Structure 1
Amino acid sequence: MKKPSSKIREEIVRLQEQLKAAETREAERIGRIALKAGLGEIEIEEAALQAAFEDIAGRFRGGQGATTRATTGKKNVGDGRTGGDTSATLATGSNAGGAGEA
């Protein structure tokens, strides 16, 4: 028996809430690590910081993301995200860590 559209919509809403919670947890974890590394005290443009994070992600993916926007001029090469997604996540994680830029 097929699900009615109302049940599918409810499931989509539930899954979106789960995704948001998972992204928040990930952002908080990365934000805490970034703050421990001293990134909260460095004045750096968001685009440059994102490019550095993309380089790091590429190293841990086995070189998949080694080519970043900094070298190609493209946003988030190969990971399927938009620039807004990552920066919003980083901002959330940094703020959630309890310390901000002075």
Structure 2
Amino acid sequence: MKKPTAKIREEIARLQEQLKQAETRDAERIGRIALRAGIGEIEIEEADLLSAFEEVASRFRGETKPAQGRKPATTPPNGTGEAACQSAEA
């Protein structure tokens, strides 16, 4: 049986609100950790900080980020054989 479009829209709105709340919790958690680490006291451009966070995220996902001018590694450092250099937004 098909759902009516109004019911689907309600479900989407509910899920969007849940996503917003989850993102807020994540942001608060990461913000607290960053402050404890002293990030708030460092004068750094937002783009540079974002780049550093992306590198950390890649490291903990087991991805490798090639140095400029180098080809990506075929196997990530954890040796699982999964594809390397996946996008940080994936």
Q: If the length of structure 1 is used for normalisation, what is the TM-score?
A: 0.65
Partner of 2:88: 79
% identity of equivalent residues: 66
How far is the alpha carbon of 1:80 from its aligned partner?
A: 3.2
1:63 partnered with 2:63? yes
Residues 15-34 of structure 1 aligned to structure 2 (within 5 Å): 15-34=15-34
Distance 1:39 1:67 in 2: 25
Deviations 1:37-62 (A, max 9, x none): 00001110000000000010011001
User: What's the Cα RMSD here?
Assistant: 2.1
Larger relative contact order (Cα-Cα within 8 Å, sequence gap ≥ 6): 1
Partner of 2:50: 50
Q: If you compute each CA radius of gyration, which structure gives the higher value, 1 or 2? A: 2
Distance 2:36 2:11 in 1: 38
* Poorly superposed stretches of 4+, deviation over 2 Å: none
- Runs of 5+ in structure 2 lacking a partner? 70-85
Distance 2:66 2:35 in 1: 25
C-alpha change, 1:67 and 1:9, in structure 2 (3 Å) is farther
Q: If the length of structure 2 is used for normalisation, what is the TM-score?
A: 0.74
Question: Relative to total residues, which structure has the larger helix share, 1 or 2?
Answer: 1
